[in-house]
Structure 1
Amino acid sequence: MRPVLVYTASRIGLFLVTLGVLYLLGLTNPLALIAASFVISGIASYVLLSKQRDVVSERISGRLDRPKPQDD
C-alpha cells in the first residue's frame, strides 16, 4: 500500500506546486488556473514520476495475478 500512497501524494503535491506557481505568475481565473494546473502537472508527472508509476503498476498487477483462496 505504501507505493500507492507515495505516488498519490506525489501527484497531489505536484498539482499544488503547479497551482501555486501559476497563481504567482498572475493566472487568477479559478477555472483556468485549475485546468492549466491539471494539464501541466499531468505532463510533469508522466515524466517525473515514471519510476513510481511502474512500481505501483507492478504492485497492482501482482495482486491481480494472485489466485484467490477458495471457500469450500
Structure 2
Amino acid sequence: MHPVLVYTLSRIGLFVVTLGVLYLLGLTNPLILMLGAFLISGLASYVLLSKQRDAMSERISDKLDRPKPQDD
C-alpha cells in the first residue's frame, strides 16, 4: 500500500480513537474535546508512527529526486 495513504489513515485513526477515549472520560465541550484530541493524537503519532513517517518521506523524496522525462 502507498506509504502516504498508510500514514494519513493511521493519523486519522489515531485522532478518532483519541477523540472517543476523551469523550468516554467525560469531556463534553466540543471545542476542548477536538483540541485535546488533536494535541494528544499529534504527540502520540510522533512516537507511534515514526516508521510510517520515515517510509512516507522516503517515498516522497524518491519521487522528487527522480529525473523528469524530456520532451523533444
Bin of the TM-score, shorter chain as denominator length: over 0.9
Partner of 2:37: 37
Q: 1:11-50 counterparts in 2 under 5 A?
A: 11-50=11-50
TM score, norm. by length of structure 2: 0.97
Mapped to 2, the partners of 1:9 and 1:54 lie a distance apart of 15
Partner of 2:5: 5
Mapped to 2, the partners of 1:8 and 1:46 lie a distance apart of 13
TM score, norm. by length of structure 1: 0.97
Give the Å deviation of 1:37: 0.3
- The aligned length equals 72
Runs of 4+ in 1 over 2 A off after TM superposition: none
Give the alignment's Cα RMSD to 1 decimal: 0.9
Structure 2 unmatched runs, 5+: none
Give the Å deviation of 1:3: 1.1
List per-residue Cα deviations over 1:4-37 (Å, max 9, x = no partner).
1111110000000000000000000001100000
